[in-house]
Amino acid sequence: MYLIKPGTKIDFVAGRRIAAVFSVIMVSASLVLFFVKGPNWGIDFTGGTEVHLKFNESVQIGEVRTALTQLDLGSDAVQQIGTDEEGEYVIRIQDPEFGTAETRANVESALKSSFGEGWIDETDFTAEVGARLTVRYTGDKVTIDDVQAAVDGIPGAKAAPALDDNVVYVNLPGLASQIGGKLRGSLPDRDFKVLQVDSVGPKVGGELRRQGFIAIVATLALILVYVGFRFELAFAPGAVLALFHDVSVVVGIFTLTGHEFNLPMIGALLTIIGYSLNDTIVIYDRIRENMSRYRRKDTKALINTSINETLGRTLATSITTGCAMMAFLTLGGPVIETFALAILMGVIFGTYSTVWVASPTILVMEDLQPVLSKIFTPVQARLDAAAEEGPASATEERRQARESGQPEL
């Protein structure tokens, strides 16, 4: 049983110009959305806190949002996981300093009350290593016990020693503690537990964003080099162009729909690059085999033949991967939703770009070869080549045959 019957002859190359226009529109729209609208960055890249709660009984999302109104959280900060009966909610706050202003003011007031108004020289708050207030003071050195005694009246405030003289740390209660306190106060008859708390500082988030971008760009650059060595140099731009096309379109769709752009999304984009490259390499390998077998055959016909010969394998791989991602998307829950959705779209656009972006680009590069040779080849090298003229390469023979309108052999 064959998914695609042997001998199938679909003229894929004939639609390359329509596909090129379609691809240019999609990629351009995606880039405009990314730089103008901007993606919905998750706390992995912006910094912030994510608290995952589970109630022991059914709770409606409206009750949770009402209970947290005292923290001035927007309604979109609370997201439900599953049904009301499951009672699971995720609370996301992208401001790392959210909810700390009042506590910081209380700590400073308590320290001034205990040690005098002029005791505090300066303070500095950071959310990179949890909510921590650095206090530089004047006068004689004080012990940590003295500082702790001064802030004992502030729930969750803990004094900690610092390496520098006349400096002390005061660790403030995290946002999870504040959320838990507000929920217990507003919903006293609803027991819950905190399943997970993720906090990322703004500097760490910015560094993760930069490293994610570098990882994608470096991957595309290395693939360009790999394909150039693995096949002819004319094959490399098409492979990289197809991968850039896939990544750009998927990012554009996520930006348009407002899906969260987080670390799993970076992993999904790198996976898409690997999947699409594998699909492209299979067809490229068949094109190269057919070029060696039919040296004088027109390149368009070679590409069509190669795509048709591998079409069954391409569709089988895409359908299988797509079904697996659909299962993850529908049954895997919100933890893997971003990854599964990105991979599913990557499979669709990766299959498309392999056939209508990567493969037809070989024709473009073949036509550009004489122009590029004139630009980059020194005059003396061309004279030497003319003096020692030998048989034309297979690529040059195919190009000359296409330009002269000779029939296929």
Count of Cβ atoms closer than 10 Å to residue 139 Cβ: 11
* Separation of alpha carbons 294 and 298, rounded Å: 9
Q: Detail the DSSP E strand segments found in 27-131.
A: 40-41, 48-55, 78-81, 88-93, 120-126
Residue 409 has pLDDT above 80, yes or no: no
Given pLDDT bands bounded at 50, 70 and 90, which one contains residue 242?
A: very high
Query: What structural domains and CATH numbers belong to the chain?
Result: 13-40+203-404 (1.20.1640.10), 48-98+176-200 (3.30.70.3400), 101-173 (3.30.980.10)
Nearest Cα neighbor of 334 from 84, 94, 81, 83 is 81
Taking only the tens place, the pLDDT of each residue in 188-207 is 778 888 787 776 666 667 78
Q: What is the mean pLDDT of the chain?
A: 81
- Of residues 394 and 121, which shows the higher confidence score? 121
Taking only the tens place, the pLDDT of each residue in 167-178 is 888 887 766 777
Residue 380 has pLDDT above 50, yes or no: no
Tell me how far apart the terminal alpha carbons of the chain are, to the nearest angstrom: 32
Residue 97 has pLDDT above 90, yes or no: no
CA 122 to chain centre: 40
Q: At which residue do the structure tokens 């500097």 appear?
A: 203
Q: At which residue do the structure tokens 């217990």 appear?
A: 184
**What values do phi and psi take at 393, rounded to 5?**
-70, 165
Q: What pLDDT does residue 403 have?
A: 61
